[in-house]
Amino acid sequence: MCELDILHDSLYQFCPELHLKRLNSLTLACHALLDCKTLTLTELGRNLPTKARTKHNIKRIDRLLGNRHLHKERLAVYRWHASFICSGNTMPIVLVDWSDIREQKRLMVLRASVALHGRSVTLYEKAFPLSEQCSKKAHDQFLADLASILPSNTTPLIVSDAGFKVPWYKSVEKLGWYWLSRVRGKVQYAGLGAENWKPISNLHDMSSSHSKTLGYKRLTKSNPISCQILLYKSGTVAKLAMRQPFVLFKGLTFQKLCLPGAFRPGDHHNKMLRPGLCVVHASPQYL
């Protein structure tokens, strides 16, 4: 395939850390995946475009997936991919979320995706055991890897859901990055310099289908962080989590906030909230 030849040549040129034999095996595995469209060890082995017997092809894929050197070299591949995607955008919108990749959630993956034209393209992902899900150790390790992958001239906007808490926001800010996150549950907020903490749910009655900002506030009483509050309430939806108004907190200060890639194509109703701040009306499932 012409596409695989281009991919092979690009990885060979820009990822010198990747050994040629492992690169050849990886390219063959990609060829098998395109043919069988099933990402399992045995199916990849059965569809390898070689003259070897099926059992030998399956063993070849098994050795490839378990190769320790390949796992060390994969960061070079992610780095090349990130430079290719983010070369023309110094502030990419990076969507971060946890997902389960094994039955009964025995193994979790933390994935960072770049929003491009209403779709997300995986930028980096790392697997963790269930016991480390949402832990500060896992988050810091993931952010350190992500920082080593992204081009040095980029300052991403990290978009996350309500499962990420204040330690995550502070870790993002330590890297000099920006963040935008939804907040739900029993989280409290207060004005700058004030001590009258109130639950986030008090803001639900203030929300509407028109996005609005409430200015700078402090989030969480036990581990406060200064940020801005944005409110938005979508229309009628079926899921309970989506019926709740959106309470968004952002760590942006002087940068313009514009998230076209994180929203559904066709949502063109923009609302200017204040100078230098633009929020696109969006459906909840795209944040």
| Residues 39-98: tens digit of each pLDDT | 999 999 999 999 999 999 999 999 999 999 999 999 999 999 999 888 888 899 999 999
**Structurally, how many domains does the chain consist of?**
2
Angle at 213 between CA 208 and CA 218, to 5 degrees: 120
pTM of the model: 0.80
In this prediction, residue 31 carries a pLDDT of 95
In this prediction, residue 248 carries a pLDDT of 65
In this prediction, residue 112 carries a pLDDT of 97
Question: How far apart, in whole angstroms, are the C-alpha atoms of residue 156 and residue 89?
Answer: 9
Domain boundary among 66, 93, 121: 66
Q: In this structure, is residue 86 part of a structural domain? A: no
Domain boundary among 42, 66, 90: 66
Q: In this structure, is residue 132 part of a structural domain? A: no
Q: In this structure, is residue 251 part of a structural domain? A: yes
60-65 long-range contacts, CB within 8 A, separation 24+: 60/25, 61/29, 61/32, 64/22, 64/25, 64/26, 64/29, 65/41
Q: In this structure, is residue 149 part of a structural domain? A: no
Task: List, for the chain, all residue ranges whose pLDDT scores fall below the cut of 70.
Answer: 1, 235-287
Range of the domain at 60: 2-66
Contacts of 281 (CB under 8 A, 6+ apart): 209, 210, 211, 232, 263, 267, 269, 270, 271
In this prediction, residue 229 carries a pLDDT of 87
In this prediction, residue 279 carries a pLDDT of 28
In this prediction, residue 246 carries a pLDDT of 58
